[in-house]
Amino acid sequence: MAFIFRVDYLNNLVTGSGGQKDKLEYPPHPDRLFMALVATAAKTRVYDAGAEEYVPKLQYPLYRRALEWLESQEPPAIYAPPELLDSGVLHTFVPVNYKIGNAGNKIVLPPYDPGARYRVPRQRPIGIIDRPLFYAWQSDPEGDIREALADLAKDVPYLGTTWSSVAVRVVAEIEEPYRNGPCLRPLKQTGTPYGGQLALQSLRVPAPGRIDDLDREYRRVIAFLRDTSMKPSEAREISMRTFIGAPLARYMWDQPVKGDGNAFARTAVARFRVRPSLPITWSGLLAEAVHASLASAVTSLGKRFPHTDIEGYATGKGCFKELPHTFFVPLANVGFRYSDGTIKGFALLFPASEGISRENVEAIYDAFISFLAPQNELYLDFGRVKNTGTVWPGARRISFLVEPLEEQPYFRYVFGDDGRSFHPEAKGGEHYRQKANVAGPMTLEWWRWCKNSHVWASVTPVILPRFPKKNLSVLQIVNDQLEILGLPPARRVTYRSLGALKGTPSVHEFRAFGTRYFENVWMHLILEFAEPVRGPVLLGRGMYFGYGLLAPMPAGEDEKFGRDADSAASAENPGLEDVDAKQPFQNSQCLV
């Protein structure tokens, strides 16, 4: 059970800043809420029967013990909207003390004039919010500790500055609809194997000894004021350094994703590194090697799960031929300035499917790891290449090493539930453990393929399930596929044989080492959506074998690619096609 604070902004104003005085601290850091509780404990009193007098709650053993319990916990999750309704910086000019003249220590008053007094500029960042915030700790304290913290919470007057009047209280659970809304979750708590440098925030959090740090800072300020109280010629202003001693914890926004109908919304992921790096044009061969090994590894699981077609789920055969089953995703180094277009690793995606449980997925993964051990080797068989004109690299079979990066797949959603994002009492990722720190290219970080983006570009060619015709455009075919996968329709599609991302080879180079789907049309795509789409995104007939993988398009690159497509438009590479276009597909079509 979780321990949860609910914070309601009574005047709908969020204020307070950290190191940068012109930048709003949002959401308020957990340490700010903790300091508000400590300040409340110091200002309010409780009757001490032993001392027969009222003492500050901070000095009362029960309240002190309650705050010490809170500071010893892991950082909380924060349920809050990612963006405020409105925010900005309020600029004001505030009168300060009169300047001391040259006549000793006497204060020389200026002439009576409202504008004669010296004013200094002040910046106050401010935001508007219309919903409560929730701070959820995973542990639940004992009854007396919980009651003491609840008693302190109800007396907290503001959070940030006095402009932000709040009502804080302890609640049993996070109510709907906030429970399934956006959440800023500690990276350590989620057990997420990705993180990198995007969608992360560093927040101050309480830690053991935090109350002692605040006590020392309070005594320092009080001692300074006492020393200068009898010396009017000296300045009596001193800043509170309450931020000292508060460690930083990395947080990541956990945005809710609808699971109904979306093949990628509810998946478990397991990543592997390959050594040496392989050309991305061999992704089809690598997929064949992984699928063959996976099929061999799961043959013995039929006895363990007699009522589940484990082999069909792992290989896409049997009853899972038309149902979501295991995806192979090549993690290629493309899309960056110095990308070399090589495969640094791959991932296995285990989608939620009918009759498949978490135990089934973990059993498949364990069987695959056991099959790889102890050499951790796989082989590329160039005999599978269907193009008779392809020149092999010298040997029919090439071995490479496979290194698992996780001890268990990372489950973002609990298999078998209703598809909602997990919350403190739903342990969707409790057993996840990362086996090795990822040291190398960014492509091995899973977040690289899961960002929200308006524009997505193909890393491997998209294999269309149908041929474009006069009354059946590429855009219609693509949107039909997106609808099947539960993704929103694309507003615009750009297609040609050349890839848009740095390091992506042409379609012809991929086909040279292809192993299947030669009867279909292959092309590189850029998809533009009206709203951001969350990855991963795979599309087309070969998506279970690593084809049709798309990556978020860097800002500005889509415009460059569009201009290149215009100049390179031909009968083979027709250029751009827009959802607003009224004309049917034509080989020479190029809309601007």
3-state secondary structure 58-125: HHCHHHHHHHHHHHCCCCCEEECCCCCCEEEEEEEEEECCCCECCCCCCECCCCCCCCCCCEEEEEEE
Alpha-helix runs per DSSP H in 432-506? 474-485
Q: Is residue 194 domain-shared with residue 62, that is, in the same domain? A: yes
Q: Is residue 197 domain-shared with residue 315, that is, in the same domain? A: no
Q: Is residue 135 domain-shared with residue 267, that is, in the same domain? A: no
Q: Is residue 249 domain-shared with residue 266, that is, in the same domain? A: no
Q: Report the pLDDT value the prediction gives residue 571, as an integer from 0 to 100.
A: 34
Asked whether residue 445 is domain-assigned, the answer is: no
Domain edge (last residue) among 369, 403, 435: 435
Q: Is residue 529 domain-shared with residue 429, that is, in the same domain? A: no
Q: Report the pLDDT value the prediction gives residue 388, as an integer from 0 to 100.
A: 64
Cα(236)–Cα(302) distance, rounded to whole angstroms? Answer: 78
Question: What pairs with residue 158 in β-bridges?
Answer: 165
Look-up of token digits 């607003």: 580
Q: Report the pLDDT value the prediction gives residue 102, as an integer from 0 to 100.
A: 54
Asked whether residue 248 is domain-assigned, the answer is: yes
Q: Is residue 363 domain-shared with residue 401, that is, in the same domain? A: yes
Asked whether residue 115 is domain-assigned, the answer is: yes
Cα(568)–Cα(299) distance, rounded to whole angstroms? Answer: 49
Asked whether residue 494 is domain-assigned, the answer is: yes
Domain edge (last residue) among 390, 411, 435: 435
The distance in angstroms from the start CA to the end CA of the chain is 57
Asked whether residue 368 is domain-assigned, the answer is: yes
Asked whether residue 211 is domain-assigned, the answer is: yes
Q: Is residue 164 domain-shared with residue 57, that is, in the same domain? A: yes
User: What tokens were used for 580?
Assistant: 């607003």
Domain ranges, residue 353: 262-435
Q: Is residue 245 domain-shared with residue 271, that is, in the same domain? A: no
CATH number of residue 66's parent domain: 3.30.70
The answer to whether 245 and 210 have CB atoms below 8 angstroms apart is yes
Calculate the CA 398 to chain-centre distance. Answer: 37
Residues 6+ apart with CB under 8 A from 311: 295, 298, 299, 301, 302, 317, 318
Asked whether residue 573 is domain-assigned, the answer is: yes
Cα(489)–Cα(364) distance, rounded to whole angstroms? Answer: 33
* Average pLDDT for runs of 10 along the chain of length 592: 91 86 89 94 90 88 94 93 87 71 55 63 89 93 92 94 93 85 79 47 90 87 79 64 80 60 73 90 89 88 85 83 86 87 91 84 90 84 71 72 85 52 35 44 80 88 89 88 86 88 89 86 91 86 90 64 38 39 32 30
Q: Is residue 143 domain-shared with residue 57, that is, in the same domain? A: yes
Domain edge (last residue) among 435, 470, 503: 435
Q: Is residue 418 domain-shared with residue 520, that is, in the same domain? A: no
Look-up of token digits 């977040």: 447
Q: Is residue 345 domain-shared with residue 475, that is, in the same domain? A: no
Under DSSP, is residue 462 helix (H, G, I), strand (E, B) or coil?
strand
The total of structural domains in the chain comes to: 3
Peptide bond into 177 cis (omega under 30): yes
Asked whether residue 323 is domain-assigned, the answer is: yes
Q: Report the pLDDT value the prediction gives residue 107, as an integer from 0 to 100.
A: 54
Q: Is residue 418 domain-shared with residue 492, that is, in the same domain? A: no
Write down the pTM of the prediction. 0.57
User: What tokens were used for 233?
Assistant: 């010629």
Helices 61-71, 210-228: inter-axial angle, 10-degree rounding? 120
Q: Report the pLDDT value the prediction gives residue 189, as an integer from 0 to 100.
A: 65
